[in-house]
Amino acid sequence: MIDTQRVIYIIYNFFFLLGTFSRLFLLFMVFIFFPLLTFFLLFGDGVAALWFIPWCIAWCVFFAWRRWKRGAVYPPILEWQVRFLERYVSGCSHKNGYTRAGGAVSTLIVKVTADAVLVEPIAPIKWVLPYGFDDLEHFIPRKNIKKIVPTSQSWWGPERVVIESVADGQTKVIELFLRKRRQFLAALT
């Protein structure tokens, strides 16, 4: 016999942890998913809530398949080419208000090579969310970087770096909160 309460509790915690990666995804979970789950628990027999498991698996498989079908978004980067690497970076894009309010909380990887700067989400997040979600994946050739503005936003946490680049005639701005800002700037010079 399946203990539906335990399964629901595990699903609930899994989505809460997944929601902490993106602020807007967290809002979606709090105002849509959790109330639905609570409704199923209170007014259903609990079995209806188990439909969320196949739905979530199908979601992940579909977007992973779409990403695989699309192919490489940027040229492959070998380990020896990386001058700077920092994992679990927070940041956001300045494309519009949605991407500024959203962004990533400790889920980005920043790599600097001799030719480019690469910003991408960590692997599980990259596979679960659709490509271009929150405008978090950036491959910026060094020749396209217009300016880099390092600013210290606060005394307590990571230091902010704003990267402005030009691609296809449009100016793109991405804001990163790096713990190793000096090493990042040194790798770019």
pLDDT digits (tens, 9 = 90+) for 67-124: 788 777 778 888 888 999 998 888 888 887 777 777 788 888 999 998 899 998 887 7
pLDDT on residue 69: 82
One domain for residues 98 and 158: yes
One domain for residues 117 and 40: no
Give the Å distances, CA to CA, from 65 to 21, 126, 133, 184.
Answer: 21, 12, 16, 33
pLDDT on residue 111: 93
Beta strand pairing status for 159-167 and 170-178?
antiparallel
One domain for residues 51 and 86: no
Domain residues for the domain of 102 are: 79-188
One domain for residues 137 and 52: no
**Is pTM beyond 0.75 here?**
no
One domain for residues 116 and 88: yes
CB atoms within 10 A of CB 52: 19
> What are the pLDDT digits (tens) for 24-66?
565 566 666 667 666 666 666 556 656 666 776 777 788 778 7
> What are the pLDDT digits (tens) for 115-149?
899 998 887 777 777 777 778 888 888 888 888 88
One domain for residues 90 and 131: yes
One domain for residues 105 and 63: no
